[in-house]
Amino acid sequence: LGRIAAKWASREGYRPAIVHTPHGHVFYGYYGTVLSKLFLALERWAANFTDRIITLTQKGIDEHLQFGVGKDRSKFTAIPDGVDLNRFTNLKIDPTRKKKELGLPPEGVKLIGSAGRLEPVKGYKYFVEASFRVKKSIPDCLFLLIGDGSLYNKLQHQIESSGLQQNFRILGWRNDINEIISILDIFVLSSLNEGMGRVLVEAMVMGKPVVATKVGGIPSVVIDGETGMLVPSKNPQALAEAIISLLKNPEKMKKMGEAGKERARLFSIEVMVEKTQKLYEELLRERR
């Protein structure tokens, strides 16, 4: 809608540079066939009078062109979403106290968790299925899911029917997500699609090894085998195997956590601002 307003605001002899930054898209129909087709048609139309489209990753550029949104690659620029890394690196909490607050054992169990909206696109039903498989192999595990959404009751039922009541907890939406991530041993993201997956950056900067699905822009954030492990989406077996592989190899977990912490710095707010400013300056020079 902002681009349409900018187009209407144009007048003879003057047209502002129009920049669009989609932090996600509807190309794969996750919001229903009718709405997805409508939004795609609007995106294609609006791209005709948009000077630059900023996607979160190179994969985002490829997907826009694949679906006919924009015809020229030069119209696109990839700038990752900036994360306030200080919020996750300057934490001063007592892990034992935090675990007690959440009703978790102070030691002796491995904590595997995720955070996000409880919606179909996040693929959490596969996370629950994978958790059941992990528990069969490594019983001393607890799984935490931070978030709320339309699938809350359905996921809770799945947890109970899988006999995971004592091992899997949905914490609802929380204001202390960074503190909870800090006590995890592994962070998991089971999404069916992600523009970038900024929560992965948040987990990585805290030194957490990650297991995520190889979809959307996630491979631009996680280097498979170096900062984490990537698996196919909708595949609880592969997800479970990756988690088990890490849990059985503490040294590998440590190395991945350290590598992820270093890589996360590429996705800071400062880096995003610098790249965005350069783009705006470029567009202004083109109009002189």
Q: pLDDT by residue (tens digit) across 140-181?
A: 999 999 999 999 999 999 999 999 999 999 999 999 999 999
Measured distance CA(192)–CA(123) in Å, rounded: 6
Measured distance CA(232)–CA(215) in Å, rounded: 8
> What's the order of all strands across the beta sheet hosting 19-20?
19-20, 52-55, 76-78
Q: Which residues contact 223 (CB under 8 A, 6 or more apart)?
A: 259, 263
The CATH code of domain 2-82+268-286 reads 3.40.50.2000
Q: Which of 128, 114, 191, 193 is nearest to 157 (CA)?
A: 128
Residues in the chain: 288
> Is residue 111 helix, strand or coil?
strand
Check if the beta carbon of residue 195 is closer than 8 Å to that of residue 25: yes
In the chain, beta strands by DSSP E: 19-20, 52-55, 76-78, 110-115, 141-146, 168-172, 186-189, 210-213, 228-231
Q: Which two tokens stand for residue 170?
A: 């949905």
Q: Which two tokens stand for residue 195?
A: 């523009």
Greatest Cα pair distance, the chain, in angstroms, is: 71
Confidence of residue 43 (pLDDT cuts 50, 70, 90): confident
- State percent of the chain over pLDDT 90: 74
Q: Which of 194, 60, 38, 59 is nearest to 20 (CA)?
A: 60
Q: What pTM does this model have?
A: 0.87
The CATH code of domain 86-265 reads 3.40.50.2000
Strand partners, 193: none
Which tens digits make up the pLDDT trace of 208-230?
999 999 998 999 999 999 999 99
Check if the beta carbon of residue 138 is closer than 8 Å to that of residue 204: no
Domain boundaries, the chain: 2-82+268-286, 86-265
Q: One fold for both 2-82+268-286 and 86-265?
A: yes
Which tens digits make up the pLDDT trace of 67-123?
899 888 999 999 999 999 998 988 888 999 999 999 999 899 999 999 999 999 999
Check if the beta carbon of residue 128 is closer than 8 Å to that of residue 155: yes
Q: Which of 164, 150, 158 is nearest to 118 (CA)?
A: 150
